[in-house]
Structure 1
Amino acid sequence: MATIKVKFRASSVEMKEGSLYYQVIHNRLARQVHTGYKLFPSEWDAGISEIVMDSGTEGGRRNYLLSVKTALADDLSRFRSIIARLERSDVMYTADKVVELFSSPADCGGFVSFARQLIKELKQIGKRRTAETYTTVLNSFLRFRGERDLLFGEVDSNLMVEYETFLKGCDVCPNSSSFYMRNLRAIYNRAVERELTVQRYPFRHVYTGVDKTVKRAVPLKVIRQIRDLDLTLSPMLDYAKDLFLFSFYTRGMSFVDMAYLKKKDLQNGVLAYRRQKTGQQLFIRWEKPMQEIIDKYDTSGTPYLLPIIRDMKEDARKQYKSEAHRENQSLKKIGKLLGLAIPLTSYVARHSWASIAKSKNIPIATISEAMGHDSENTTRIYLASLDTTVVDKANSLILKSL
């Protein structure tokens, strides 16, 4: 196994600082890596290969020496991690290879470096949604950690508990915190699969489950209020209202599916499309209110049915995401205009359609097929969290009978 040592080379000029360097030895071959750090001979103990400070060292010099000690410890840990990885690979390697991996900025010896490389690979093979998710998660982790990379050995249970505490301090809800943890775990597990590190189960003491959340739905009367709003003096809000209603009219179609609808998908009075999330194909009979919304907007320069993706020269997914954000911002303003108790978002249209269908005693199987769920069980779980008013009324009756 290769060994790594820190060495000090004194200056040939008396009273001048000397240089620190790393010595990598493997199979009796030695290689050197300069650290860039300078020390006076009195500040280095060759016997223990450590920086020493006497009682007279103070102020800026003391801070400098402390920072060098920290940097040396980090570099040595990185060297050891690289050597351990090479040993696990069961492939012959040299001291030059150790130096190459240490010196390469593209080296995946660090967790952050590996995550960035993985994101790049995912984009190259077309898995953009996963790449975007990992980017979001990594950015959150870097807000906690800072920009400095860390070794896989530093990704331990204590660090993840600290990160979870950081998220709680930022008022991140448990489900969002779990989302970050699950995806960080996925990145870490990929590194384990590639034998870049051993499995240390750093996520075993943080929450990675999914809490049951109350879905947001509004009753039919609110849908009517939204439909009847006169927003002609506010084109952006009027546009947001139309997209919301289109989603409701099309059995709660998700915004991403609406964005990618094409004119060719509408034929002989039937709208046929595949869900972006599951790939399931759905068929919707074309109704008059759907056509009225389509007729309001000019999409002659695009193949799309709705004016969400407008510029054929720009990235379509980037436009969709931007429009989705703008849509929800506008819908929240509409919700405030109506005095709604819940934030109005594009998801509310989908949840409301399911809730209203349930209130109309439409069979579960029909609702499941209409929404493109993969099973009736999924629909039951979905509907179970949509509306608790029936249970609330039952509880109220019991309390009143006391």
Structure 2
Amino acid sequence: MATIKVKFRASSVEMKEGSLYYQVIHNRLVRQVHTGYRLFPSEWDAGISEVVVASGTEEGRRNYLLSMKTAIADDLSRLRSIIARLERSDTGYTADKVVELFSSPADCGGFLSFARQLIQELKKIGKRRTAETYTTALNSFLRFRGERDLLFEEVDSNLMVEYETFLKGINVCPNSSSFYMRNLRAIYNRAVERELTVQRYPFKHVYTGVDKTVKRAVPLKVIRRIRDLDLTLSPVLDYARDLFMFSFYTRGMAFVDMAYLKKKDLQNGVLSYRRQKTGQQLFIKWEKPMQEIVDKYDTSGTPYLLPIIRDMDTDARKQYKNAAHLVNDKLKRIGQQLGLVIPLTSYVARHAWASIAKSKNIPISTISEAMGHDSENTTRIYLASLDTSIVDKANSLILKSL
């Protein structure tokens, strides 16, 4: 096994700082890693190979030396982790390989490079949604840790607690923090499955649950105000409002499902579609306000019902995500105009429909069926035989209330 030593090289110029370097020895071959750390001979104890902080040292210099001691400890831990990983590989290695992996700023075949590789694999097999969530979590982690790759041995519970503290410090809410942690844990577990590392449970001390979110529903009178706003001078706000109202009219249809609606999905006064999230098929009675929105926009060049995916030569999912970002941004502006206390987003339409339906004494089971919920197996079994006409009556009742 390779060994590591910390060495001090004094300057040839008297009263000038010398330099520290690491010596990597393997199979009698010696290689050096220059650290960039500089100190005076009196600040180095060659007997124990440690930085010395003498009593009476000026505070600025003392802090510098203490930070150097911490940095050296981190470097040595990283070098030992690299050597341990190479030893487990059973493929043979050299001192040069140890130095190469230590010096690489971006890719040492560790956690970050594995995450990027996994994301590309998911994209190739069509699991773009998972790839996108992993990318979001990875980008957040990179803002905390930087681009330098991490050995799997460095991904431990202490690091994740530091990351969680970082997220709290920039006011990331607990649910978002948990989202990042759960996805990073999924990436880490994939590496364990492929025997790239052993399971160390690095996420055991951070929050990975789901808190109850602040209520995002608005009452019927607010939906009326949104519908009746005069937005003729701002076509982009009008567009965002129309899609919000279409979602409400269609029992809180998710924006992604609206984006992929095809003209052929509307037949004989019934709109049918499968939820992107669950694959569950839903049927909606076509109502007049839905048709008014569809008639307002020219979609003759596409097979889609709504003007969300417009260019057949451009990636459809990218167009959907860009449109969702645009619509939510403009809806927030509308919400601000109305003086709403919650941010207005496309998801508010879904919450509002459910909340208003409940206020109309529509059974919870009917609401669940209308919205395509399938989170509880018992609810799904109960709802399996529910007549969809009940759902259509519920929707008609709500729309007439407007």
TM-score by length of 1: 0.76
Equivalents in 2 of 1:100, 1:142: separation in Å? Answer: 22
Cα distance change on mapping 1:245 and 1:153 into 2, 3 Å: same
For residues 302-317 of structure 1, what are the structure 2 equivalents within 5 Å? Answer: 302-317=302-317
* Letter in structure 1 aligned against 2:273: Y
Cα distance change on mapping 1:42 and 1:355 into 2, 3 Å: closer
Q: Counterpart in 1 of 2:109? A: 108
Q: Counterpart in 2 of 1:240? A: 240
- Offset, 1:352: 1.5
- Offset, 1:215: 3.1
Equivalents in 2 of 1:134, 1:265: separation in Å? Answer: 32
For residues 50-129 of structure 1, what are the structure 2 equivalents within 5 Å? Answer: 74-89=74-89, 91-95=90-94, 98=98, 101-102=101-102, 106-109=107-110, 111-129=111-129
For residues 320-399 of structure 1, what are the structure 2 equivalents within 5 Å? Answer: 320-374=320-374, 375=376
- Offset, 1:370: 1.6
Q: Counterpart in 1 of 2:293? A: 293
Alignment RMSD (CA, Å): 3.8
Equivalents in 2 of 1:49, 1:339: separation in Å? Answer: 65
- Offset, 1:350: 0.8
Equivalents in 1 of 2:35, 2:102: separation in Å? Answer: 15
Q: Counterpart in 1 of 2:279? A: 279
Cα distance change on mapping 1:207 and 1:52 into 2, 3 Å: closer
Report the secondary structure of 2:320's partner residue.
helix
The 10-residue stretch of structure 1 (225-234 or 113-122) with the greater mean CA deviation from structure 2: 113-122
Report the secondary structure of 2:272's partner residue.
strand
Cα distance change on mapping 1:47 and 1:221 into 2, 3 Å: closer
Equivalents in 2 of 1:29, 1:364: separation in Å? Answer: 74
Report the secondary structure of 2:196's partner residue.
coil
Contact 1:85 1:195 in 2 (8 A): no
Equivalents in 2 of 1:178, 1:349: separation in Å? Answer: 25
- Offset, 1:100: 6.0
Equivalents in 2 of 1:85, 1:121: separation in Å? Answer: 24
Aligned residue-pair number = 375
Report the secondary structure of 1:80's partner residue.
helix
Contact 2:107 2:149 in 1 (8 A): no
Equivalents in 2 of 1:142, 1:324: separation in Å? Answer: 25
Q: Counterpart in 2 of 1:174? A: 174
Cα distance change on mapping 1:117 and 1:54 into 2, 3 Å: farther
Cα distance change on mapping 1:370 and 1:51 into 2, 3 Å: same
Q: Counterpart in 2 of 1:30? A: 29
* Letter in structure 1 aligned against 2:24: Q
* Letter in structure 2 aligned against 1:328: N
Q: Counterpart in 2 of 1:260? A: 260
Report the secondary structure of 1:271's partner residue.
strand
Equivalents in 2 of 1:235, 1:196: separation in Å? Answer: 53
Contact 1:155 1:202 in 2 (8 A): yes
Equivalents in 2 of 1:40, 1:227: separation in Å? Answer: 70
- Offset, 1:244: 0.8
* Letter in structure 2 aligned against 1:193: E
Contact 2:10 2:41 in 1 (8 A): no
Equivalents in 2 of 1:194, 1:102: separation in Å? Answer: 23
* Letter in structure 2 aligned against 1:234: S
Q: Counterpart in 1 of 2:385? A: none
Cα distance change on mapping 1:333 and 1:61 into 2, 3 Å: closer
Report the secondary structure of 1:189's partner residue.
helix
C-alpha offsets along residues 97-147 of structure 1, whole Å, 9 cap, x if unaligned?
6566556653223x3333333333333333322222222223323333344
Equivalents in 2 of 1:341, 1:67: separation in Å? Answer: 46
Q: Counterpart in 2 of 1:216? A: 216
Equivalents in 2 of 1:161, 1:52: separation in Å? Answer: 30
Equivalents in 2 of 1:121, 1:47: separation in Å? Answer: 51
* Letter in structure 2 aligned against 1:245: M
Cα distance change on mapping 1:178 and 1:261 into 2, 3 Å: same
C-alpha offsets along residues 360-401 of structure 1, whole Å, 9 cap, x if unaligned?
33333322222111247669xxxxxxxxxxxxxxxxxxxxxx
For residues 127-146 of structure 1, what are the structure 2 equivalents within 5 Å? Answer: 127-146=127-146
Equivalents in 2 of 1:130, 1:24: separation in Å? Answer: 43
- Offset, 1:274: 1.5
Equivalents in 1 of 2:135, 2:150: separation in Å? Answer: 17
* Letter in structure 2 aligned against 1:199: Q
- Offset, 1:267: 2.9
Report the secondary structure of 1:314's partner residue.
coil
Contact 1:160 1:203 in 2 (8 A): yes
Equivalents in 1 of 2:362, 2:150: separation in Å? Answer: 55
Report the secondary structure of 2:24's partner residue.
strand
Report the secondary structure of 1:137's partner residue.
helix
Report the secondary structure of 1:304's partner residue.
coil
The 10-residue stretch of structure 1 (147-156 or 41-50) with the greater mean CA deviation from structure 2: 41-50
Report the secondary structure of 2:284's partner residue.
strand
Equivalents in 2 of 1:221, 1:37: separation in Å? Answer: 66
Cα distance change on mapping 1:377 and 1:126 into 2, 3 Å: same
Cα distance change on mapping 1:145 and 1:101 into 2, 3 Å: closer
Report the secondary structure of 2:202's partner residue.
coil
Cα distance change on mapping 1:169 and 1:72 into 2, 3 Å: closer
Equivalents in 2 of 1:216, 1:207: separation in Å? Answer: 23
Contact 1:77 1:151 in 2 (8 A): no
- Offset, 1:61: 12
Give the unaligned 5+ runs of structure 1: 380-402
C-alpha offsets along residues 33-91 of structure 1, whole Å, 9 cap, x if unaligned?
65486989979887666678999x99x999999998777655543332233223334x3
TM-score by length of 2: 0.76
